[in-house]
Amino acid sequence: MNRPFVALAVAAALLAQGAVSQAQTVARQTTPAGLVFRHVHMPEDHFQALFFAWKDGTATALPGMEALASLGTALIMEGPRGLDRSAMIEELRDLQATATLGATVSVIQGNLTAPPEKFAAAARLFARALVDPALPADRLADMARNRATVSRQADGNAETLAQRLLARLVIADGPHRRSATADPGMFGRVTVADIEQWRRNILVREGLVLVAVGPLDAAEAGREIDQLFAGLPQSGNALAPVKPVLRAPGKLVVLERPVVQSAIAAGGPASLAITPDLARTQLAVAAFGGSPSARLWLAVRERLGAAYGISAGLQSVDLDTLALFIRTAVANDKAKDALAAIREEYARFVMDGMTDGELEPLKAIFVRSQRDRLRRAPALAATLLSLALHDFPDDYLATYEQRLRGYGRSAVEADVRATFPREPLTTVLVAPSAEGLAADCVIRSPEELARCE
Q: DSSP letters along 128-163, please?
A: HHHHSB---HHHHHHHHHHHHHHHHHHTTSHHHHHH
- The mean per-residue pLDDT over the stretch 186-198 comes to 98
404 to each of 11, 15, 407, 415, how far by Cα in Å?
15, 9, 6, 14
Domains and CATH numbers, the chain: 17-229 (3.30.830.10), 252-382+391-452 (3.30.830.10)
Give the model's confidence band at 374: pLDDT under 50 very low, under 70 low, under 90 confident, else very high: confident
**Res. 246: pLDDT tops 80:** yes
Separation between Cα atoms, residue 358 and residue 369, nearest integer Å: 17
Hey, which residues does 397 pair with through a beta bridge?
none
| Confidence check: pLDDT of 180 > 80 | yes
In this prediction, residue 308 has a pLDDT band, given cuts at 50, 70 and 90, of: confident
Q: Write the pLDDT tens digit of every residue in 144-156.
A: 999 999 999 999 9
SS3 178: helix
* Alpha carbon distances (Å) from 234 to 39, 127, 203: 22, 15, 9
Predicted pLDDT at 12: 39
Mean pLDDT over each residue of the chain, to the nearest integer: 93
* Predicted local confidence at residue 370, as pLDDT: 74
Is a pLDDT exceeding 90 seen at residue 446? yes
Q: Going by C-beta distance under 8 Å and a sequence separation of 6 or more, which residues neighbour residue 404?
A: 18, 279, 363, 366, 367
pTM of the predicted structure, to 2 decimals: 0.92
Position 76 pLDDT exceeds 70 = yes
pLDDT digits (tens, 9 = 90+) for 324-363: 999 999 999 999 999 999 999 999 999 999 988 999 999 9
